[in-house]
Structure 1
Amino acid sequence: MADLQRIVDELAARLERPLLLEDRLQRVVAYSEQNGVMDDIRRDSILRRHTTPEVRQWLRDAGAHDSPGPLRTPGAPHLGLLPRVCVPVRHEAGLLGFLWFIDAPPPMTADQVEEAAAAAPGLALALYHESLATGLASHRELEAVTGLLRGERDAARQLIEAGAFPQGQPVTALVARPPSGEPDEAVRLALEQGLLAVRRRLSGHHPLHLVRYDHAVLLVSGAPLAPDELHAALSVRVVVGVGRPRPSLAEAAGSYAEARHAAEVAARVPGLGHTARWDRLGVYRMLTGLPDHELHPGLELLLAEDQHLPLLETLETYLDLAGSAVATSRALRLHRTSLYYRLQRVEELARTDLKDGGERLALHLSLKLARLSGRYRPRGVHQVIAQVGQDPV
C-alpha cells in the first residue's frame, strides 16, 4: 500500500488538487490530503471507506464503469455530490478502480486531466500487485481491526497473514478523542487524515488505525510513537490515552481498553494534561471499573446542589494535600478561618467526621469517582479563590 499512497500524494502535489482512489467496487483505497473543496460524499467516503449505493449507481449511470479514459461526471445536488473528473484505472483492459477529482472550482484543465490519465497505468500496476494480490483492501482492514478491538483472535490472524502487522511483535494502543463534547464530522475527518499521515511516517512499524464515533485508535508495533508526535500530527485538539504494550497482536484489545479509559480520564481530569498513560493513572486506574453510584452518602448530598460546589472543591484540595490545613490555605489562598469554616460545613452537611481516616478515604475516593462520571466538575483553583469574600473570617 506504500507505493499506492506515494503515487497518490505525488500526483496530488503536482496537480495541486486533492484526489481519492477507489477499487472497482468503489471502496476507498487511498487518498491525498483533502485541502480543497469537499462535498458530503467525499467526506463520507473517507470516514466510512466506501461510497453509498445511490452514489455508486449515479456514477455508473454517468459512464464511470464503461469509459475507456477520463470523463467528467455531473453533479447531483440531491445526493450532495459535486461534479467530478473520473480517471478509470485499468490493468490489461480489466477495471481495477477509479481516480476521482472534485471538478469545482475551478474545473480541471485539459493538461491536468491528461497528467492524471498518464498516472493511471502506474496506479493500476501498484493496485494490482499490492491491493488485489498481496495486501488487504481497506474495507477488509477496517473489518479486521474492528474485530481485533472486540477481542476476536481470528482478526489478528487475518491481519498478520495479509502482512499488515508483523508476527510475534508487541502491540501498543493509543486512543485520541476530543477533550469535551461529541465530535462532529469535521473532527472525525481531521482524525482520519492525521492518523493516515502518521501511518505513512511509521510505515516500517506496521501501524493500524480506526476512527470510531467518538474517538480514534492507533495500533503500533512496540511503542515507536511518542504521544506528543500524535498531537502534532492532528489538526484538532485531543487528549491521548496510552495503553500498556501487549506481547502479540491477538491481545491488542487489552491495550485498547486501557488506552480508551486513560483518554477518558484525561478528558475528565484536566490536571493530568493532554496525555494519560494507563500505568501512570494512579488511583484513577482502580476507579475506572467501579459503578459511579457507589459514592459516600454524604458526598451524594453535597453533589445534589450546585451551591455546595465551593465546599467540594475545598474538600478535594484538602484531601489531595493529605489533610494539611497549612498547605490547603496556601494552595487556595484562603484564610485559615475560612478554611476551617468550610470544612466544618462539609462535616455538618455530609454527616461525616474528617478526623476519621476511613471517612477521609471514602470521601476522597468518592470525589475522584464523581469526577470520572462527570457528576463533579470543579472549576479550578482561581474560581475557588474568588469565593473567599463570601466566607466569614
Structure 2
Amino acid sequence: MTSATGESDPRALQDLVDDVSDLLQAPATLEDTGFALLAYGSHGPDGVDQVRAASILRKTATPAVRSYFLEHGIASATAPVRIPADESRQIAARVCVPVRAGGRTHGYFWVVEPTAGVDAASLVRVVPLAERAGVLLARRAGVADERAGLVAALLFGGAKAGGRPMMDDEEPGPRAAWRRLVALGELSPQEPLVVAVVREADGTVRHTVLSVPAGAAPDLIARRVARQVPAGAVAGFSGPCPPPAETVGSQVDSGVGVGAGAGVGLPAAAVRAATALRTAIARPHLGPVLSWDDLGFYRVLEQGPEVVAALIAGTPAARLRERADADLIRTVLVWLDSGGNAARTAAALSVHRQTLYYRLERVEQLTGVDLDEGEARLGLHLGLALSEVLAVAPPVPG
C-alpha cells in the first residue's frame, strides 16, 4: 500500500516490524540509514535497553550510538549482523538485519537479543521481510528525491523536477512543479506557503515548502516548521506566502505576489529563509528555528553581503575584527548581548569579573570608543552582530 504522496504506508511498515517481532520473539524496531525511527514493536521488561528507550523517545539514535553500530559494518552488510553489548554505552547485545533493495541499504531492523538468544532459523525467515521493507523504503526514497527536485524547481526554476521528465501536458518550471506537489498531496492548492531552509547536523542543507492554515498564528507556523527540524539541526523560514493558485498561476513565474509579503516572489522568500538560517547559525541564542519576521535589524542582510560589508567597513566593529583575537571579540559580543551585565557575562564566559573589565578596556583601546556611550555601544553591537552572520557561508542545497 502507498499513501497519497506515494510514500510507503506507515501501517505496512508497522506490520512488518510486528512480523519480525513475532518471528524472533523479541521486540523489533525499524530505522532508516540516518537512524531515524520509522516503526517499533511493543516491548516487555527484557526487550529494552537505554538505547532502544532513547531512540523511541527522541525518534533517533545519538551520534555515539550510531558510530558504535556503524563500526560493525552494518552499512554495507547484506546479511544479519550480531552486535555485542557495550556496558559503557548501556547498549545491550542486539541483531541488525539490513533492509535492502536494488543493491542499496535503505534501513535496518533492530532486535535486542532476548536472554535465550535469537534462533538462527527464525533469523533466516526475517530476511524476506527485510526485502519487502526495502522495497517500501526505496519507493519512499524515490518520492523524497522527486519532492526535493520539485521544491528546487518551484523556488529556483528548472526544466525538469527531481530528474523526472515533464509530461507533454506539463509546463516546465515553477508552475508545473507546484501543480505536481499539489497532485502528490504535498501542498494544499489554497493554503499559504512557508519556505524553510534546514541545515542538518551533518551539514547537509535542504530547502522545503510547507502549506499552513490561512490566518495561522506565528507560533503555530513556527511549530509546524520545527517539526521538520531534527535534533541538532538549525532552520530559518520565511512566510506565509500566498499560494500560486490557478487564477494567479502566472505570477509564480513573474515573481509577483507569491512570497513573504506583497510583491515578493518565492525565490525571494527562499533568500529570506536562508538569511534567517544564517542568522540562527551565527547567533545561536536566537535559534535554532528562526523566522524572517523575527529577524529585526538583521533584515538588512537581504540587501546583499557586499552592501552590508560596505556599511560595516571603517567602523569600530571592523577595526576590532581586524585587530582583536577571537576571545576578545566573543567577550564584547557576549557582554553586549547581555545588555552590559557584567555578572551574567563573566558567568557565561567562565572568567573572573576583573578579567572581563580588563578585556573591555582593551576593546575601548582598539576601537577608540567609549563603551559608556549608548550610540557607540549600539554601533559596535550592530557591526559585530552583522559581521558574525556574514561570516556564515550562504546555504547551498545538498
TM-score (norm 1): 0.50
Cα displacement string for residues 284-315 of structure 1 (whole angstroms, at most 9, x for unaligned residues): 12235333643242433322344584377347
Shift of 1:247: 0.6
Shift of 1:336: 11
Distance 2:30 2:319 in 1: 56
Mapped pair 1:310 → 2:331: no
Mapped pair 1:148 → 2:154: yes
Shift of 1:244: 1.6
Contact 1:171 1:222 in 2 (8 A): yes
Match of 1:241 in 2: 236
Distance 1:317 1:276 in 2: 22
SS of 2:190's partner is: coil
Residues 159 and 304 of structure 1: CA distance in aligned 2, closer, same or farther (over 3 Å): same
Residue identity matched to 1:303? R
Aligned counterpart in structure 2 of residue 216 of structure 1, from 206, 215, 222: 206
Shift of 1:366: 1.3
List aligned pairs for 1:197-212, cutoff 5 A.
none
List aligned pairs for 1:129-144, cutoff 5 A.
137-144=143-150
Aligned counterpart in structure 2 of residue 290 of structure 1, from 286, 297, 305: 305
Residue identity matched to 2:367? A
Distance 2:374 2:31 in 1: 64
Distance 2:182 2:99 in 1: 36
SS of 1:304's partner is: helix
Residues 358 and 166 of structure 1: CA distance in aligned 2, closer, same or farther (over 3 Å): same
Residue identity matched to 2:239? R
Aligned counterpart in structure 2 of residue 4 of structure 1, from 1, 8, 31: 8
Residue identity matched to 2:212? G
Contact 2:29 2:109 in 1 (8 A): no
Contact 1:170 1:245 in 2 (8 A): yes
Question: 241-250 vs 330-339, which deviates more?
Answer: 330-339
Shift of 1:39: 11
Match of 2:167 in 1: none
Match of 1:259 in 2: 273
Distance 1:137 1:145 in 2: 12
SS of 2:389's partner is: helix
Match of 1:277 in 2: 291
Contact 1:299 1:350 in 2 (8 A): yes
Cα displacement string for residues 94-134 of structure 1 (whole angstroms, at most 9, x for unaligned residues): xxxx99887999786465467679x89xx99xx9xxx8xxx
Cα displacement string for residues 212-266 of structure 1 (whole angstroms, at most 9, x for unaligned residues): x622344221168654576577653122323121011554444333222212211
How many residues are treated as equivalent by the alignment? 277
Distance 2:130 2:355 in 1: 73
Mapped pair 1:370 → 2:391: no
Match of 1:350 in 2: 367
Mapped pair 1:171 → 2:190: no
Residue identity matched to 1:159? L
Residue identity matched to 1:153? P
Contact 2:317 2:380 in 1 (8 A): yes
Residue identity matched to 1:255? A
SS of 1:244's partner is: strand
Residues 246 and 358 of structure 1: CA distance in aligned 2, closer, same or farther (over 3 Å): same
Match of 1:379 in 2: none
SS of 2:242's partner is: coil
Residues 165 and 107 of structure 1: CA distance in aligned 2, closer, same or farther (over 3 Å): farther
Question: 162-171 vs 353-362, which deviates more?
Answer: 353-362
List aligned pairs for 1:13-92, cutoff 5 A.
13-15=18-20, 16=28, 18=30, 32=38
Contact 2:194 2:241 in 1 (8 A): yes
Cα displacement string for residues 126-149 of structure 1 (whole angstroms, at most 9, x for unaligned residues): x9xxx8xxxx95543332122123
Shift of 1:74: 12
Residues 319 and 276 of structure 1: CA distance in aligned 2, closer, same or farther (over 3 Å): closer
Residue identity matched to 2:366? L
SS of 2:241's partner is: coil
List aligned pairs for 1:375-390, cutoff 5 A.
none
Residue identity matched to 2:285? G
Distance 1:102 1:344 in 2: 57
Residue identity matched to 1:149? L
Distance 1:99 1:342 in 2: 54
Unaligned ranges ≥5, structure 2: 21-27, 40-59, 82-95, 112-119, 158-172, 245-251, 253-257, 259-265, 393-398
TM-score (norm 2): 0.50
Residue identity matched to 1:237? G
Cα displacement string for residues 22-53 of structure 1 (whole angstroms, at most 9, x for unaligned residues): xxxxxxxxx95598977999979xxxxxxxxx
Answer with 1 or 2: which has the greater Rg: 1
